[in-house]
Amino acid sequence: MTTIKDSVHDYIELEPTAEALLDTAPMQRLRYVRQLSTVQFVYPSANHTRFEHSLGVYHLADEAVERLPIDDELARRLRAAALVHDVGHGPFGHQTEAAIERHLGRHHDEIGWLLEETDLGAVLEDHGLDPEAVAATVDGRGPLGELVAGSLDVDRMDYLVRDAHHTGVPYGTIDHARLLYSLEIVDGELALEAGNVATAESALIARTLMNATVYRHHVSRIAGSMLDRASERLLADGVVDPERFARLTDAELLATLTEYERTAELATRIRERTLYKRALWVRREDVPTRFRGLDYDRTRTLEREIAELADVSPETVILDSPGDPSAPESRARVVVDGELQRLEDRSSLVAGLDACAREIWRLGVYAPEDVLEPVREAAATVLEVDG
Amino acid sequence: MTTIKDSVHDYIELEPTAEALLDTAPMQRLRYVRQLSTVQFVYPSANHTRFEHSLGVYHLADEAVERLPIDDELARRLRAAALVHDVGHGPFGHQTEAAIERHLGRHHDEIGWLLEETDLGAVLEDHGLDPEAVAATVDGRGPLGELVAGSLDVDRMDYLVRDAHHTGVPYGTIDHARLLYSLEIVDGELALEAGNVATAESALIARTLMNATVYRHHVSRIAGSMLDRASERLLADGVVDPERFARLTDAELLATLTEYERTAELATRIRERTLYKRALWVRREDVPTRFRGLDYDRTRTLEREIAELADVSPETVILDSPGDPSAPESRARVVVDGELQRLEDRSSLVAGLDACAREIWRLGVYAPEDVLEPVREAAATVLEVDG
Amino acid sequence: MTTIKDSVHDYIELEPTAEALLDTAPMQRLRYVRQLSTVQFVYPSANHTRFEHSLGVYHLADEAVERLPIDDELARRLRAAALVHDVGHGPFGHQTEAAIERHLGRHHDEIGWLLEETDLGAVLEDHGLDPEAVAATVDGRGPLGELVAGSLDVDRMDYLVRDAHHTGVPYGTIDHARLLYSLEIVDGELALEAGNVATAESALIARTLMNATVYRHHVSRIAGSMLDRASERLLADGVVDPERFARLTDAELLATLTEYERTAELATRIRERTLYKRALWVRREDVPTRFRGLDYDRTRTLEREIAELADVSPETVILDSPGDPSAPESRARVVVDGELQRLEDRSSLVAGLDACAREIWRLGVYAPEDVLEPVREAAATVLEVDG
Amino acid sequence: MTTIKDSVHDYIELEPTAEALLDTAPMQRLRYVRQLSTVQFVYPSANHTRFEHSLGVYHLADEAVERLPIDDELARRLRAAALVHDVGHGPFGHQTEAAIERHLGRHHDEIGWLLEETDLGAVLEDHGLDPEAVAATVDGRGPLGELVAGSLDVDRMDYLVRDAHHTGVPYGTIDHARLLYSLEIVDGELALEAGNVATAESALIARTLMNATVYRHHVSRIAGSMLDRASERLLADGVVDPERFARLTDAELLATLTEYERTAELATRIRERTLYKRALWVRREDVPTRFRGLDYDRTRTLEREIAELADVSPETVILDSPGDPSAPESRARVVVDGELQRLEDRSSLVAGLDACAREIWRLGVYAPEDVLEPVREAAATVLEVDG
């Protein structure tokens, strides 16, 4: 059996199916997609990739299925799904997700097309696995799909610990070994054994704190918004076909953006980290309800309004008003006093963490440093907030 | 300058005052007092001592005062107080604290007597420090006393990280470096710089999770209760003078208990880990209000009642109904939007964590395995709970 | 299956035999014997015990036997032997080993007597294991005994990593996972698979560096020598029966030494770390051959000679001239180019490490600070070295 | 003062000069050059960059100069040199070093040209530093230049620890804090204080073991050789100007290689990890002296000979016969018994480590899998070794 050394889980043993899957081009491509995309502009050590994360998720799935009373076929499907679960990510992962959805109507968890178009599907079949069933598992559907994508999935167990290791921020160091040990199947679904409310809470807490300090850091959000706008321009102008776009690596996207005249400046700014700055950064309670969680068209309209009022070019204004954060972990099932319950129905912390998530929510308006003042004033007027 | 290697903070540099203080008998005694006393019965690696913890607290105080705008005298006082802050602890630390308070009316933070009776006071004076001022600082009083004992103290910053390192439980790995970096003095008191609500919350969270999994683990509580009862017997029977008792090491107390006939059995049970078991373990909402947070006399009376009803010897029943947990961290001061605020007034999490602390609260009744059933029934009747 | 959290290996799963063995008094006693005895006087965090180390060795043995093609009975014997392998250690482990051997003629690896006299043997039999076979394995004899005590044993794999974790000295962090993965059985004996010369060397290097910085640190050697002399006095004067002596804990020995008039001073010095100092500390090449690696009687005779010449009391002179270090790791078998070879025949490093071990060898003469000068002069004369 | 969180050294404080240097394009480019280039094909977590490494080296230099008795100007120069020391690296670092030297006659430590051609020089001058003096320091020349590039440099102290953290291989975890603490200046040059022979040896050992398991791993060497051949083709055919080549990022080089017809196949093979395999892999003693450590022209001639004899295309044969490894650490100066000595004159280990380095030396011949057999036979004939 082949073994690979990993910085987080030490040795990872690979079964032959995993080895064959790793040798495909779509999996090798993940070596060139950073797990935390633009976070490296804040935490310079955050250069780990979706490739090593995929190995980690595979490893945790392997440890979980060894302990669960399931048959070999399901075990093999879950392991395979864990390994390929991120194969549908575009360049810079979540940062181009919205652009890809707008142009292809497809989420990164839908990987059916990839199984068909690349040799991934054939490799799965060669090893006796049904590609469709694997694709469904990646999407969290089918038997124990929640182990790969759900409230107790191994994806999160790996990324929290891995992101902590590579950023140096300690909040992600959850007790993933205990989470794995405590998994059991109740009525066909995953649950945590009795005595694990605090274990389940700790994963939720870890993600909330990692959101606050890492995932939602304003520098990463600004770089991400700039990438989104540049990507949209590339796709809207037909410079790159959306299907090809979805398969670029981080560097290939940056290179493509640099070569195209209308996106060259944004690309250079991202690459050399001369990013836009915050013209506005407003707490939730200070933002009128109708300006929270804006859809794309409305966002672009407001950006143009702000630019016009500020008398600056429309490309120089970026509005970023995200939706409310979700917390799938809070729906994890735990056994308490012999009964199966949702964590959110049991834990006194869940409500506090929800409030905490709303607390760190911010609406941002970003612009180049030299037009920051006019953009601030115009944006405050348009969005009806204090400048 | 002397340097000492520490498992948590790597190298710790000692100024001459610290070196001289370390050489005193009261400080050397801390080598023989485990930081987590009876927790080693649950987490076998938890054998770190109050000696190494004291070095760690000294180190963090040193790092803090280097960054704060304070004069050299205060800096030296804070460092010295940090180093000796635990010198007043009895054997098994918190587990004999109540017995010592009952017999000496003294809390472990009051160390004035030690400065007088041992050479600690003389060493402080030799190095130009006022023993009384140091003692006040250990107690959290005087200028920046809260750095040593307060809502933002270096004591907690060290023990959370150290306890995590030595138990293997990851929840205590707070970002203590960031806490230190963020300290500032506002109106003569410590506060955290703007942008640190999540940092402050994380320390509070860490302690709540460590409470749930480590500090309040039932096995440790049972062993602690057994120690308390045995210690009380020793003191009540005049076998050991309370002042001498307070200066014993862990092992000396165990040896003394083993030698005295009336405590020998309890001592052997503790030492060989044949501990009492839980006859009752009841959630807060299921315990009548008047039986929560019982004082010592009431506890003993109820124990006797239970024993009588169960027809067992009174020594075999232990009732453990602790008070509500306190969370001094929630009173930490943080700068938010330019204003100084208490964390509890600012953080959406504090209420959730308070609820969480109440959630993990349990009333326990403990007894030897062979009388568990009669004690359970009798205790349920006396305490009016379901058995 | 019961699981225990360990600071080094995270979760350790215990089979029922292990649980039952842990519950015996001889195993529980190991909670009170520090793994590194007097090293805590140099590295204050080195307070881990032989109890947690035993759990770690059990865990590594368990991982090893899972991978090796052996039958269940042998697997169970190896695991049991790994768990109890240190049960024969006296107080302060290696530091009283010589005294015990002088008075009982028994090495700590001989545990047959313990299996008979305590319930350890009965517990083994209850679980279908032959106590004699287990005792042989602890001593490195019988099938795969070398896994427990030999050139590739799991004892060393655990203690190097554990001592590194608890002292903070990084040199012990060997790749024990790779060592375990690489074990195979060739002609009935353990060997490392091809490609592992560097892996084997690294363990040897780690121990050499840990010797230099931790295990052979002069402060630890001085405290150890003082313990040996005090123990000898106790035993020679018949204060404690040798069999009882061998079963004391660290603290019990210190207490016993404190109570006996003739050893009280040494005990207080050890406990409060007012240790003897080095009167002489001489490199190997500067010590006449006949004074290297002295036996006990010769040592005591020379000490008396030195004391007489220096005109000080004989108890105040300690001579410490250890034998040559052994390096069992260098006899580890590795597969190189398809052939089985001893590491020492294959590795260019072994000779260098041997030389290195001789390099750090020192003869020491220790004495209280106030008589250091006369002792130095007398010792230099008697031992024919430069003072 | 700005602080950056690092995965290895926790918080790194940046003085204004450092901040300004970081904002230049040549420094930002290092975000896109992996520290261990092709090692990620063996250790998938090895994705850390020369950017974060540069921050780490700056941090260690900062800690060193704080302790050394030097004036402020020299301190500032050393810190600046530490930060920019890797700015001259081409894409994939050491893997394109030889190609760049062949075409530009310049080593990566010569950064004078960069200071002139980019804004780096201006930024240094703006902050009162002499660019030429900084460039000399990067090259190891001038006062204490050896702190940045020499036998005791902070470059190595950072990369050993960082590479260990990111690969998961523990051998690099040296005690860099102790190395820093032990530095002193003797006769104007760096030396280690008395008592540090083992400390110095440990750094040498760490690099030897990291060479064996990480830096010289055959998969990384194969990918590196393929990169070298493809880069040579690109440069020889004039596809990219050498000066531009030297400033590409990893991904830009791969993209450029992919776009050019004659290098496209090699590029795809590297990117998707369908690497050449070992046709030959021969120990030092089995290689005739005249085929060890071959220069470039001789290598290419032999490759063509082998290809002709094997009747395959010349591009499909790669010969890799590296020179003897150097060990600058062995020339580190240490104080022993009051005298200043070179480590190699003092340490019994150095010779062993030299032998060990020769032991792991291998000559390799690489080729695509489908022509492996004919190439093996031909190469064995041409190089006069056993096939």
Residue B3, chain C, CB below 8 Å: the answer is: no
- Is there a contact between C7 and B249 if contact means CB atoms under 8 Å apart? no
What whole-number distance in Å separates Cα of residue C237 and Cα of residue C251? 20
Q: Across the C/D interface, how many CB contacts are shorter than 8 Å?
A: 66
Residue of C nearest to D353 (CA): C349
What type of residue is B261? E
Beta-carbon separation of D355 and C352 below 8 A: yes
pLDDT (0 to 100) of residue B16: 96
Q: Bridge-partner residues for C3, per DSSP?
A: C13
Residue type, D157: M
Nearest to A44 among D10, D52, D166 (CB): D52
The CA-atom distances, in angstroms, between C148 and each of B165, B181, C65, D294 are 27, 48, 11, 48
Q: Which alpha helices (H) appear in D85-153, and where do they start and end?
A: 94-104, 112-117, 120-126, 131-138
A202, A348, A358 member nearest B352 (Cβ)? A348
Does D49 sit within 8 Å of A8, measured CB to CB?
Answer: no
Q: What's the pLDDT at C218?
A: 96
- Looking at CA atoms only, how far is residue A182 from chain C in angstroms? 11
With contact defined as beta carbons under 8 Å apart, do C367 and C312 qualify? Answer: yes
Structure-block tokens of residue A220: 């990463």
Percent of chain C at pLDDT > 90 equals 79
Geometric angle at alpha carbon D80, from D77 and D84, rounded to 5°: 135
Q: Which residue of A has its CA nearest to D10?
A: A168
Higher pLDDT, C309 or B353: C309
Does the beta carbon of D198 lie under 8 angstroms from any beta carbon of chain B?
no
What pLDDT was estimated at residue C339? Answer: 87
pLDDT of residue A110: 87
- Percentages of chain B per state (helix, strand, coil), in multiples of 5: 60, 10, 30
Q: Are B321 and B291 in contact (CB under 8 A)?
A: yes
Q: Which residue type sits at A368?
A: P
What pLDDT does A387 receive? Answer: 66
Task: Report pLDDT for B60.
Answer: 97
Mutate to test the interface with B, among D7, D11, D59 (most CBs of B within 10 A): D11
Whether D165 shows a pLDDT value over 80: the answer reads: yes
Assess contact for A343 and A336: CB atoms under 8 A: no
Kind of pairing between the strands at D10-14 and D2-6:
antiparallel
Which residue from D198, D356, D358 is facing C209, i.e. has the nearest CB?
D198
CATH code linked to domain A2-168: 1.10.3210.10
What's the rounded Cα separation, in Å, for the pair D275 and D222? 7
Angle CA D125–D126–D129, to nearest 5: 40
Contact with chain A for residue B344, Cβ under 8 A = no
Closest-CA distance of chain B to residue C138, Å: 22
Kindly tell me the burial class for residue B69, based on how many C-beta atoms sit within 10 Å of its own C-beta (0-12, 13-18, 19 or more): exposed
To the nearest whole Å, the CA of B207 is away from the closest chain D CA by: 22
Alpha helix segments (H runs only) across C68-153: 72-84, 94-104, 112-117, 120-126, 131-138
The DSSP secondary structure of A317-329, one letter per residue, reads -EEE---PPP-GG
Does C196 or C363 have the greater pLDDT score?
Answer: C363
- Greater confidence (B355 vs B146) lies with B146
Question: Which whole-number Å values give the CA distances from C167 to B170, C55, C228, D20, D160, in the listed order?
Answer: 19, 19, 24, 40, 21
Tell the burial category of D261 from Cβ atoms under 10 Å away from its Cβ (0-12, 13-18, 19+). Answer: exposed
- Interface with C, mutate which of B30, B42, B47 (most C CBs under 10 A): B47
Establish if C86 touches chain D: CB-CB under 8 angstroms. no
Looking at residue C356, what is its pLDDT? 81
Kindly report the CA angle at A308 between A307 and A311, in degrees rounded to 5? 80
Q: How is the beta sheet containing D362-367 ordered, strand by strand?
A: D277-283, D362-367, D318-320
Using a CB-CB cut-off of 8 Å, the residues of chain B touching D177 are 10-11
DSSP of D58-103, one letter per residue? HHHHHHHHHHS---HHHHHHHHHHHHHTTTT--TTTHHHHHHHHHH
Q: What is the dihedral of CA A204, A209, A210, A216, to 10 degrees?
A: 110
- Both tokens of residue C185? 């059985």
Q: Kindly state the percentage of chain D with pLDDT values over 70.
A: 100
Tell me the pLDDT tens digit for each residue of D192-238: 998 888 888 888 889 888 998 999 999 999 999 999 999 999 999 99
List CB contacts of C345: < 8 A, sequence separation 6 or more. none
* pLDDT surpasses 90 at D107: no
- Average pLDDT value over all residues in chain C: 94
Q: Is A33 exposed, middle or buried (0-12, 13-18, 19+ CB in 10 A)?
A: buried
Number of CB atoms found within 10 A of residue B339's CB = 9
Confidence check: pLDDT of B387 > 80: no
CB of B32 less than 8 A from some CB of C: yes
Q: Chain C contact for D351, CB < 8 A?
A: yes
CA separation for the pair A307, A315 (Å, rounded): 8
pLDDT score recorded for residue D387: 67
Phi, psi torsion values for A366, nearest 5 degrees? -115, 150
CA-based radius of gyration for chain D: 22
Q: Which chains touch A (3 or more CB pairs under 8 A)?
A: B, C, D
- C358 at interface of D, judged by CB pairs closer than 8 A: yes
D103 pLDDT exceeds 70? yes
Q: How many CB atoms lie within 10 A of CB D343?
A: 25
Question: Is C201's CB within 8 Å of D209's CB?
Answer: yes
- Residue D134 clears pLDDT 90, i.e. is over it: yes
Closest Cα in chain A to D51:
A44
Rounded to 5 degrees, φ, ψ at D187 are 50, 40
The per-residue pLDDT for range D308-340, each reduced to its tens digit, is 999 999 999 999 999 987 788 888 999 987 889
Task: Please indicate whether, in this complex, the C-beta atoms of C348 and D359 are within 8 angstroms of each other.
Answer: yes
For position C351, what pLDDT does the model report?
Answer: 81
Low-confidence ranges of chain A (pLDDT < 70): 387
Is B132's pLDDT higher than 80?
yes
Q: Spell out where chain B has E strands.
A: 2-6, 10-14, 183-186, 189-192, 277-283, 318-320, 333-336, 339-342, 362-367
ipTM, two decimals: 0.92
Per-residue burial over C343-370, b = 16 or more CB atoms within 10 Å of its CB, e = otherwise: bbebbbbbbbbbebbebbbbbbbbbbee
| Rounded Cα–Cα distance for residues D216 and D362 (Å) | 9
Partners of B11 on chain D (C-beta within 8 Å) are 177-178, 181
Answer yes or no: are the C-beta atoms of B60 and B176 closer than 8 Å.
yes
Residue A222: which of A370, A368, A383, A33 has the closest Cα?
A368
Residue B228 predicted with pLDDT over 70: yes
Backbone angles phi, psi at C351, to 5 degrees: -60, -45
Q: Do C28 and B271 touch (CB under 8 A)?
A: yes
Q: Which of A169, A180, A194, A189 minimizes the C-alpha distance to A46?
A: A169
Q: Does B193 touch chain D (CB under 8 A)?
A: no
SS3 state of residue C189: strand
What pLDDT does C327 receive?
Answer: 80
Average pLDDT over residues B58-80: 96
Residue C150 DSSP code = S
The confidence score (pLDDT) of residue C353 equals 84
Give the residue from chain C lying closest to B163, CA to CA: C7
Say whether A76 sits in a helix, a strand or coil.
helix
For the ranges B233-247, C112-126, D57-71, which has the lowest average pLDDT?
C112-126
What distance in Å separates residue C106's CA from the closest CA in chain A?
A: 40
Question: CB A125: neighbour CB atoms within 10 A?
Answer: 12
Task: Judge: D28–A273 Cβ closer than 8 Å, yes or no.
Answer: yes
User: Quick one: what percent of chain B has pLDDT higher than 90?
Assistant: 79
**Domain residue ranges in chain A:** 2-168, 276-324+361-387
Q: What residue ranges in chain A does DSSP mark as E strands? A: 2-6, 10-14, 183-186, 189-192, 277-283, 318-320, 333-336, 339-342, 362-367
User: What's residue B378's pLDDT?
Assistant: 97
Helices (H) and strands (E) in chain D, counts: 19, 9
Answer whether A289 touches B (CB < 8 Å): no
* CB nearest A11 (choices: C10, C11, C181): C181
Q: Measured between CA atoms, how close is C60 to chain D, in angstroms?
A: 18
Flag the least confident range among C255-264, C267-276, C330-339, D299-308.
C330-339
> Is A52 touching D (CB cutoff 8 A)?
yes
Task: Please identify which residue in the block is written with the tokens 């880069």.
Answer: D231
Neighbours of chain C (3+ CB pairs under 8 A): A, B, D
**Burial status of residue A295 (CB atoms within 10 A of its CB: 0-12, 13-18, 19 or more):** exposed
Selected residue of C356, C361, C362, C386 to mutate for chain D interface (largest D Cβ count, 10 A): C356
- Cβ of residue D175 closer than 8 Å to a chain C Cβ: yes
Distance CA A81, CA A134 (A): 5
Least confident of B79-93, B230-244, C345-359, D355-369: C345-359
Please say if the pLDDT value at position B1 is more than 80.
Answer: no
